Chain A
Amino acid sequence: MTEKRCDISLRINAEQVERPVLVRQHLVDFLREELDLTGSHLGCEHGVCGACQVMVDGKVVRGCLTLAVQCDGKHVETIEGLSESGVLADLQAAFLNHNALQCGFCSSGMLLTALNIVQNHPDATRDEIRDHISGNYCRCTGYQAIVSAIESVLVARRTGELAGVAR
């Protein structure tokens, strides 16, 4: 059987991409294999580990549970694009400062969950941070350093706002 392909047209980070895709190819394989965007990782491939997370139309999603063909007409943002834009800069610096990564496999997905926390739950406690990152597995750090890194950014952003620092 010849596998079915569909033509899709989508925006990946700052670039418009048009090409035929195998309908069974999920978004992370498409990004990694077809576009060489290897910052999104493939761990469990059934939605449990969170290493594959990317943004679609501004929302965090599991790349392994999303078919590339479903992203026709949408805007996909990966760790590459989000790093370049600077939106993750303070989180990335905090991850480094707190040793919140060792092998780095989970970091691209973890950072997107962290971004969701700082954007939508600015007052999250350590326990709440743990709840929010429970869908992202890290096998190196034991999570303590990750929670501390995210907490430090929440605190810094809150104090920055209090001091009237423009972000």
Chain B
Amino acid sequence: MKAPAFDYVKPKDLPEALRLLQQYGAGAQVLAGGQSLMAIMNLGLAMPEILVDITGIDGLRDIQETAHGIRVGALVTHATLESSALIAQKVPLLWQSVPHVAHMAIRNVGTIGGSMALADPAAEYPAVSLALNATITLIGPDGQRDVAAQDYFLGLYETARKEDELLVAVTFPKVSTDEVMIFDELTRRRGDYALCGLAAAFTVKSGVISAARLAYLSIGDTPVLAEAAGRSLVGNKPDQALIEVAQNALVNDLSPRGDLHGSAEGKLHWAKVLLARSLRELEKSA
């Protein structure tokens, strides 16, 4: 279908973009790569009054190493992340997740800012950002603020970003030498929306897990941190016995709803399978 009529502006700088967001409020949608937005509009599921195309704004396309981590500008595309040696080296969990994002033609255009602003529960970066507790930087009429990923995802397609704010960057902590990052997801075909996915950040000292952050995607309204399962791993070596303990603990963390893609029990099973796979992978790397 065709999108219904809308207005379009391409602001030259950040102040102009923020003025437009303030002026139009809920009637405005930010356009970056548009790889979800255009699909949603063509399906008639969103009918914005005006699109604010932010791709003309300078300074949102950089990947920078700072004292706090790796700062990724909102307009950095999936394809750029995929080919970035800095991301591969310093934020391996993010880097591992990129090839799972849709298809090359979409990764060439879609942006990290768009993915994080939309906050689709089946998307990869929201779960990665939660596993790493990344920082989301928002700019609005009252200035700039940083929101931790664990405070950012509020509900289905609902985030801490206000409608007059622009998401300008996501900062990921740099991986340290005792951390192991493992991303995996289940799909019917490569590039499809994940049936279930797991972004896992483990800290391992002398073969023993000292911390674990397990962020699931496609299992609830938001990415979900499996805290009980994570705690059950601490102080232990990854082996078959621990896999079973952690899988049992997952019941306390996840309460998936059944839908067209699978029953609630089926989804919980997929979550357990992914947890087992990541712990076996960890065992191999330890």
Listed A/B pairs (16) with beta-carbon separation below 8 Å: A1-B5, A3-B5, A4-B7, A23-B7, A29-B2, A46-B38, A47-B38, A53-B105, A61-B109, A62-B105, A64-B42, A65-B38, A113-B103, A116-B104, A135-B104, A135-B191
How many chain-B residues does the 8 Å CB contact rule pick out?
Answer: 30
Out of B38, B104, B108, name the residue touching A67 (CB < 8 Å): B38
Across the interface, A46 reaches (CB within 8 A) one of B43, B79, B192, namely: B43
Q: With A3-B5, A4-B7 in contact, is A134–B104 under 8 Å at CB?
A: no
Shortest CB distance A45–B (Å) = 5
Q: How many residues of A contact B (CB 8 A)?
A: 33
Nearest-CB distance from A54 to chain B (Å)? 9
Q: Which residues of A contact B8 (CB under 8 A)?
A: 4, 6, 23-24, 67, 69
Cα distance A3–B4 in the bound complex, in angstroms: 10
- 1/0 per residue, CB under 8 A from A, across B71-88: the answer is 000000001000000000
A135 in complex: contacting residue of B4, B38, B103, CB < 8 Å:
B103
Q: Is A50's CB under 8 angstroms from B38's CB?
A: no
Instruction: Find the A residue at minimum CB distance from B192.
Output: A134
Q: A60 within 8 Å of B by Cβ?
A: yes
Does B42 contact A45, Cβ atoms closer than 8 Å? yes
Residue A41 lies at the interface, judged by CB distance under 8 Å to chain B: no
Which B residues are closer than 8 A to A by beta carbons?
Answer: 1-8, 31, 34-35, 38-39, 42-43, 51, 53, 55, 79, 102-106, 108-109, 189-192
Q: Which residues of B contact A6 (CB under 8 A)?
A: 8
Contacts A4-B7, A134-B190, A134-B191 given: A66-B2 contact, CB under 8 Å? Answer: no
**Max chain A CB contacts within 10 Å: which of B39, B103, B105, B190?**
B105
B38 lies within 8 A of A64 (CB):
yes
Interface mask (A19-45 → B, CB under 8 Å = 1, otherwise 0)? 000011010010000000000000001
